[in-house]
Amino acid sequence: MVSSAMTQTNTTTDQLALLSLKSQIISDPSHFLDESWSPATSVSHWVGVACGSRHQRVKSLNLSNMALIGRIPRDFGNLTFLVCLDLGSNNFHGNLPQEMTCLRRLKFLDLSFNNFSGEVPSWFGFLQKLQVLNLRNNSFTGSIPSFSNMSTLQTLNLAFNSLEGHIPVSLSNASRLETLELSYNSLQGNIPEWISSLHNMNSLGIEYTQLVGSIPFTIFNISRIEVIAFTGNSLSGSLPNGLCNGLPILKGLYLSINKLRGHMPTSISNWIIPQEIGNLVNLAKLGMEDNRITGSVPISIFNISLLQVLSLAEQS
What pLDDT sits at residue 275?
Answer: 54
pLDDT at 293 over 70: no
Per DSSP, the three-state class of 287 is strand
pLDDT at 26 over 70: yes
Q: Please tell me the pTM assigned to this model.
A: 0.84
- Amino acid at site 27: S
> Average pLDDT, stretch 140-151?
91
Distance CA 311, CA 314 (A): 9
What pLDDT sits at residue 267?
Answer: 34
Distance CA 239, CA 259 (A): 12
For residue 107, give every residue at least 6 positions away whose Cβ sits within 8 Å of its Cβ, in sequence order, or none. Answer: 83, 84, 129, 130, 131, 132, 152
Distance CA 229, CA 235 (A): 12
Least confident of 102-106, 171-175, 257-261: 257-261
What pLDDT sits at residue 239?
Answer: 77
Distance CA 81, CA 77 (A): 10
Per DSSP, the three-state class of 190 is coil
Q: In the chain, what is the greatest distance between 2 CA atoms, to the nearest angstrom?
A: 78
Distance CA 274, CA 252 (A): 15
For residue 62, give every residue at least 6 positions away whose Cβ sits within 8 Å of its Cβ, in sequence order, or none. Answer: 48, 50, 84, 86
What pLDDT sits at residue 299?
Answer: 58
Smallest CA-to-CA distance from 247 within 218, 287, 272, 270 is with 218
- The pLDDT tens digits for 78-127 are 999 999 999 999 999 999 999 999 999 999 999 999 999 999 999 999 99
Element (H, E) at 156: strand 155-157
Smallest CA-to-CA distance from 253 within 312, 167, 191, 175 is with 312
In degrees, to the nearest 5, what angle opens at C-alpha 263 toward C-alphas 245 and 236?
Answer: 85
What pLDDT sits at residue 265?
Answer: 39
In degrees, to the nearest 5, what angle opens at C-alpha 222 toward C-alphas 217 and 226?
Answer: 110
CATH numbers and ranges of domains, the chain = 17-138+151-157 (3.80.10.10), 189-315 (3.80.10.10)
Distance CA 232, CA 315 (A): 14
What pLDDT sits at residue 25?
Answer: 97
- The pLDDT tens digits for 211-257 are 999 999 899 889 999 999 999 999 998 877 666 677 888 888 888 88
